[in-house]
Structures are given as structure tokens and as C-alpha cells.
């Protein structure tokens, strides 16, 4: 179990909080690029690391990410006019550019020096891989822009979706890094003895510290002396990469291998925004849009899975995630449709912040224990004025996951050295 004081250091993400200051040392996803499709278009509300912000694409295509409230009388800038390279408050016409500078103060005399002293909080942004990333930390600590392999893949070979969850980021991150639950929670056909994950429900977990976080393997005995190895990557602060070669994406030109992952972005202490990305394995693995929607529907994130106008799933806490108890008795281990929806159900069901002091961890939780120790050390490093792991994109720009089936005595590291090499 976890000490209460250690949990408190990791789950609170606002300004000035230990984890909040650590998380602000990295570029964080703020919204999808598709949420800001046009220049001078409608602004978008963003809540990130406990702060209320507004994102907009200005006349030149630059993304502004500024305080959600005008510094004059705190009027909401969501209703602002996005025009001529700035966002203008509709209350008294004060206008701010993407750098937070006040560029017009029409409610004051032209001779007033007030405009030169007024600023609004603004954060740097970059667009990579279909995501608008924001840096909210100290200016003198700003790292180079995100450069994950999947963000470099062409648009034809990647896709990103997004959904909100009503729980703390840490229980989603821990759930994503837990490989032992897959044979239970995600078993959609309990009578199928051929389901690979269910053939060995007690995988051997190994963790390997890296300059960017850690990598870990789940090794399963799957019969006929075959050993199934899945090698995952955890990249600080909140990203997982997982192999998907054996479950390729469907498409018009047949099934193509891919790999994918999640970024569990803290909205505030009780809410998380999950970015779900998928990347074609190589140049011969483009992502067919219709095939991708089939893939997303399998996870419960298809086009019709969201409450219209939101990123919240229709299957949610209020309707018990549409659990089918009859199906649970005969076919599905949970009775809940959608792999991702199953994850959401257990993660939200723990409450906004789960009580880790009441846990009883086992050997299959090795990756979780490894994670918590690493996070506590990273938070402490920031408090000491040091740079935490994973800040430098050069340390992880070519990282990817891997999976494969080996015979006894086989060396998965040798296979990973070839198959796990970056393509983009």
C-alpha cells in the first residue's frame, strides 16, 4: 500500500503543488488541432493542470492559449471576438495577442499608458501529431518541442482521438501500465480458450529504467512451449506506448500492423483527458479512416460513442456503462462493451481519487510499484531544482514498443533491436 503523504504529493496537479510543478516541466496536450480548424475561428475552453484557459487560432494560424478570463473585470474570453491576430473581450473590447500582450484598450483614453502595463497569462504552444501542446512551466526551463516518432508520421499514417474521464490522472496512468488485468477485464469471449491474454493470467513482469521513464515487459506462456512477450514504453510524465502488431488495423487494403498509446493528461485533481493515438507500423501501413473507426468502435470510442458536442462517452457512470449482466454470465467477463469503456468503468468507479492506503499489491503490480517510486523521485528532483527524466525529446524520439512470440531460450531483446527500430 501507499503512504497517504506520498499519494498527496502525486495526485494534486494545480500550481504550487509538488506534482503540479513536476508536470509543468513537460509539454502537455491542450486540445486536438481539429478543435481549432480555422483561422479567426471560435475559441475553445481548455482546463489543464487545474487552470482554466482559452485556446484560439489567430489570423496567422498561430495558436494562442491564454487565461480564460479578461484581466479587466474577469469577463469570460470564451465569448471573445477572434479577429486580426488577437482575442477581444466582448465586455469592454480589451484585446490580447497570443503572447498575452494587450494590443488594444478602446475603453481607455488614447493617451493612457495603461495598455503598456496590462498582460494576460499566456502559454507557449506548438502543433505536433494532430495535437496542440502547451508548456506551462518556468520560461527558462522550457524544453524542445515534442518529437515522438508517432508525431513525425504523416497524417495518412496516424490518428488521434480524445475522451474525458471523471477521475484523477494517476489511476488512469496506473491502469494503462497494468498489463495483468487484460486477461480479465478485456476478455470479451470467456469461452474462447484461444484468447492469448487469458492463456496465462499471471504474466511475468520486468521493468527497466530508462532516461525517459522506463520500459517493461509482460511475458506469458501461451502453450506449445511458445512465449508471448509484449514490451511497453512508459515516457514521462503520462504517456504509454504499446505494441499492436498482433491486432492490426482493418482497412480497405487488408489488415496493417500498427502501434498505439495513450497520454493521460491531468485536467484537474478529479478529471483526466485521455489522448488515444495510433500510428502505422511503417510506410506500408497507412491508416484507413473507415478501418480506424472500426478499431475505435472496438474500444468503445467510435464516432457515435460520444455525447454530441463533447468528448464524454455515452456509456458512463450514470448508466452503469451500459453493462449487460446476461452477457456477463455467458460471454463477456465484464458485460461492458468496448475495451476502453471497461477501463473507464473501473477507473472512474474507484472515485475521483482512489484510496491507495487501502490497497494490497501483488507480484503482477510490479510495474505500478516501479512507476510510483519513479514519480516520487521525479517530483523530488524538481523540488531540488533538478531536471526530471523525459524532458529532453532526444532521449525518446525513436522509442517504440514491440511484441513477439518466442521459443524457450529465445532472446526478445535481439528481436526488439530489429523490429522495435523507429521507421519515421
CATH number at residue 342: 3.90.380.10
Give the closest residue to 393 by CA, choosing from 261, 235, 277, 279: 235
Identify the domain boundary among 112, 141, 170: 141
pLDDT of residue 403: 82
In the structure, what pLDDT confidence band is assigned to residue 215 with cuts at 50, 70 and 90? very high
What is the per-residue burial (b if ≥16 Cβ within 10 Å, else e) of 300-312? bbbeebbeeeebe
- Regarding whether 338 and 320 lie in a shared domain, the answer is yes
- Ranking 199-208, 241-250, 393-402 by mean pLDDT, the lowest is 241-250
> Could you tell me which residues come within 8 angstroms of residue 362 by beta carbon, excluding any fewer than 6 positions away?
none
- Regarding whether 346 and 280 lie in a shared domain, the answer is yes
The answer as to whether 13 is a domain residue is no
Give the closest residue to 148 by CA, choosing from 393, 414, 361: 393
Give the closest residue to 265 by CA, choosing from 33, 65, 32, 98: 32
**Cis status, amide bond into 237, omega within 30 of 0:** yes
pLDDT of residue 363: 87
User: Taking the CB of residue 329, how many other CB atoms lie within 10 A of it?
Assistant: 10
Identify the domain boundary among 141, 157, 176: 141
Strand 402-406 to strand 258-268: parallel, antiparallel, or no bridges (unpaired)?
A: unpaired
Handedness of CA 368, 343, 296, 364 (dihedral sign): positive
pTM over 0.75: yes
- Regarding whether 378 and 283 lie in a shared domain, the answer is yes
- Regarding whether 302 and 193 lie in a shared domain, the answer is yes
Strand 402-406 to strand 44-48: parallel, antiparallel, or no bridges (unpaired)?
A: unpaired
- Regarding whether 168 and 307 lie in a shared domain, the answer is yes
DSSP 3-state of 293: helix
The answer as to whether 18 is a domain residue is no
Q: Which domain covers residue 56, as residue numbers?
A: 33-141
The answer on pLDDT for 68 being more than 90 is yes
- Regarding whether 172 and 70 lie in a shared domain, the answer is no
Q: How many separate domains does the chain show?
A: 2
The answer as to whether 28 is a domain residue is no
> Could you tell me which residues come within 8 angstroms of residue 188 by beta carbon, excluding any fewer than 6 positions away?
331, 332, 333, 339
- Regarding whether 114 and 159 lie in a shared domain, the answer is no
Partners of 82 in the β-ladder: 87
pLDDT of residue 275: 98
Residue with C-alpha cell 473590447?
93
The answer as to whether 4 is a domain residue is no
Identify the domain boundary among 87, 113, 141: 141
The answer as to whether 311 is a domain residue is yes
- Regarding whether 190 and 135 lie in a shared domain, the answer is no
- Regarding whether 240 and 112 lie in a shared domain, the answer is no
Asked whether 123 and 142 are in contact (CB, 8 A), the reply is no
The tens digit of pLDDT for each residue in 12-32 reads 999 999 999 999 999 999 999
The answer as to whether 316 is a domain residue is yes
- Regarding whether 269 and 221 lie in a shared domain, the answer is yes
**What whole-number distance in Å separates Cα of residue 318 and Cα of residue 316?**
6
The answer as to whether 25 is a domain residue is no
The answer as to whether 102 is a domain residue is yes
- Regarding whether 119 and 180 lie in a shared domain, the answer is no
Give the closest residue to 25 by CA, choosing from 55, 51, 52, 49: 49
Compute the C-alpha angle 163/167/172, nearest 5°: 70
- Regarding whether 210 and 268 lie in a shared domain, the answer is yes
CATH number at residue 70: 2.102.10.10
Partners of 93 in the β-ladder: none
Amino acid at each position: 500500500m501507499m503512504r497517504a503523504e506520498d499519494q498527496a504529493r502525486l495526485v494534486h496537479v494545480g500550481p504550487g503543488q509538488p506534482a503540479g510543478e513536476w508536470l509543468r516541466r513537460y509539454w502537455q496536450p491542450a486540445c486536438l488541432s481539429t478543435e481549432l480548424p480555422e483561422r479567426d475561428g471560435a475559441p475553445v475552453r481548455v482546463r489543464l493542470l487545474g487552470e482554466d484557459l482559452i485556446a484560439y487560432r489567430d489570423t496567422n494560424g498561430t495558436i494562442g492559449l491564454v487565461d480564460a478570463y479578461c484581466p479587466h473585470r474577469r469577463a469570460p474570453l470564451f465569448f471573445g471576438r477572434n479577429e486580426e491576430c488577437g482575442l477581444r473581450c466582448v465586455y469592454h473590447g480589451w484585446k490580447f495577442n497570443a503572447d498575452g500582450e494587450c494590443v488594444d484598450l478602446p475603453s481607455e483614453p488614447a493617451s493612457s499608458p495603461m495598455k503598456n502595463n496590462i498582460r494576460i497569462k499566456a502559454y507557449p504552444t506548438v502543433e505536433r501529431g494532430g495535437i496542440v501542446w502547451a508548456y506551462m512551466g518556468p520560461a527558462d526551463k522550457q524544453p524542445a518541442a515534442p518529437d515522438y516518432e508517432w508525431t513525425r508520421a504523416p497524417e495518412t499514417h496516424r490518428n488521434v482521438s480524445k475522451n474525458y474521464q471523471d477521475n484523477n490522472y494517476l489511476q488512469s496512468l496506473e491502469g494503462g501500465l497494468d498489463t495483468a488485468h487484460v486477461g480479465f477485464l478485456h476478455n470479451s469471449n470467456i469461452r474462447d480458450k484461444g484468447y492469448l491474454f487469458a492463456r496465462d493470467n499471471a504474466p511475468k513482469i520486468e521493468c527497466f529504467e530508462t532516461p525517459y521513464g522506463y520500459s517493461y515487459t509482460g511475458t506469458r506462456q501461451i502453450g506449445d512451449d511458445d512465449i508471448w512477450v509484449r514490451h511497453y514504453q512508459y515516457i514521462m510524465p503520462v504517456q504509454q506506448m504499446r505494441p499492436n502488431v498482433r491486432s492490426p488495423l482493418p482497412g480497405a487494403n487488408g489488415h496493417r500492423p500498427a502501434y498505439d498509446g495513450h497520454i493521460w493528461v491531468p485536467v484537474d485533481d478529479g478529471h483526466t483527458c485521455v489522448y488515444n493515438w495510433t500510428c502505422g507500423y511503417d510506410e506500408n501501413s497507412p491508416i484507413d479512416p473507415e478501418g480506424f473507426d472500426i478499431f475505435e468502435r472496438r474500444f468503445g470510442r467510435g464516432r457515435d460513442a460520444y455525447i454530441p458536442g463533447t468528448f464524454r462517452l455515452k456509456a458512463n457512470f450514470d448508466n452503469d456503462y451500459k453493462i449487460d449482466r446476461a452477457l456477463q454470465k455467458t460471454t463477456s467477463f465484464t458485460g461492458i462493451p468496448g475495451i476502453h469503456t471497461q477501463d473507464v468503468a473501473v477507473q472512474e468507479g474507484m472515485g475521483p481519487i482512489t484510496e491507495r492506503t487501502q490497497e494490497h499489491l501483488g507480484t503482477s503490480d510490479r510495474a505500478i510499484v516501479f512507476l510510483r517510486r519513479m514519480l516520487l523521485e521525479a517530483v523530488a528532483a524538481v523540488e531540488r531544482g533538478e531536471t526530471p527524466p523525459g524532458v529532453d525529446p532526444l532521449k525518446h524520439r525513436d522509442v517504440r514498443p514491440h511484441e513477439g512470440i518466442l521459443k524457450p531460450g529465445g532472446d526478445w531483446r535481439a528481436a526488439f533491436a530489429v523490429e522495435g527500430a523507429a521507421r519515421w
